[in-house]
């Protein structure tokens, strides 16, 4: 039942974004939104951030605006539910990687780049971008637990947020909705 509610909620979120398309350029906020609408709830403009990935490259959320939607995932190496999520998503995400960016941010500040790299290699998660914990991002997104997910449309709006391990069908729904946003 929870999965059905999640899927219906995501479909409603995506359809409400399509209903509100403004036709504005990619450099401005969507119609009806202002700088004050930046927040961490569905419909808000996602807070921008810049991080260094574990491979040494830079990632800036706003660089994807107008180009690619982003799935932002908060996790930790010790989290069994994250391991469950990654075990499923690593088989689903490769077919969406050209249309959706996936950033996994560790929420445990005691975990360093080497421990994250070891986890990525052990789990075979080479299509996903990883970064260490960034306290300002955790605060801006109100993250308090692992498996927290944010689906951010190519227009920069938060389409959906949720937490908990999900199955293959739900990952497919999330990525399909993002790809079509």
Q: Would you say residue 25 lies in a domain?
A: no
Confidence check: pLDDT of 7 > 80: no
Average of pLDDT values for 95-122?
A: 97
Q: How far apart are CA 66 and CA 124, in angstroms?
A: 30
What pLDDT digit, counting tens, does each position of 126-142 carry? 999 999 999 999 999 99
Q: Would you say residue 30 lies in a domain?
A: no
Average of pLDDT values for 55-69?
A: 96
Q: How far apart are CA 46 and CA 82, in angstroms?
A: 23
Hey, which of 14-18, 23-27, 108-112 has the most confident mean pLDDT?
Answer: 108-112
Q: Would you say residue 122 lies in a domain?
A: yes
What is the pTM assigned to this prediction? 0.79
Q: Would you say residue 125 lies in a domain?
A: yes
Counted domains in the chain = 1
Q: Which domain holds residue 77?
A: 2-20+37-179
Which CATH number characterizes residue 149's domain?
Answer: 3.40.30.10
Q: Would you say residue 58 lies in a domain?
A: yes
Q: Would you say residue 120 lies in a domain?
A: yes
What pLDDT digit, counting tens, does each position of 80-102 carry? 999 999 999 999 999 999 999 99
How many residues in the chain?
Answer: 181
Token pair of 84, please?
């469950």
Does the CA dihedral 135-141-142-144 come out positive or negative? Answer: negative
More confident position, 106 or 38: 106
What pLDDT digit, counting tens, does each position of 27-37 carry? 344 544 444 58
Token pair of 130, please?
């990883």
Q: Would you say residue 100 lies in a domain?
A: yes
């Amino acid at each position: 039942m929870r999965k059905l509610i999640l899927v219906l909620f995501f479909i409603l979120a995506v359809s409400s974004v399509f209903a509100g398309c403004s036709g504005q350029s990619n450099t401005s906020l969507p119609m009806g939104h202002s700088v004050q609408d930046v927040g961490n709830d569905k419909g808000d403009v996602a807070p921008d951030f810049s991080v260094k990935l574990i491979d040494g490259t830079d990632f800036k959320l706003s660089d994807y605006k107008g180009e690619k939607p982003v799935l932002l995932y908060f996790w930790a190496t010790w989290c069994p539910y994250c391991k469950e999520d990654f075990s499923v998503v690593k088989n689903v995400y490769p077919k969406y990687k050209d249309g959706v960016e996936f950033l996994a941010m560790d929420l445990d500040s005691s975990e360093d780049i080497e421990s994250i790299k070891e986890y990525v290699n052990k789990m075979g998660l080479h299509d996903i971008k990883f970064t260490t914990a960034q306290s300002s991002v955790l605060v801006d997104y109100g993250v308090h637990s692992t498996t927290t997910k944010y689906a951010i449309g190519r227009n920069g709006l938060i389409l959906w947020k949720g937490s908990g391990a999900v199955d293959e069908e739900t990952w497919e729904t999330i990525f399909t909705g993002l790809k079509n946003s």
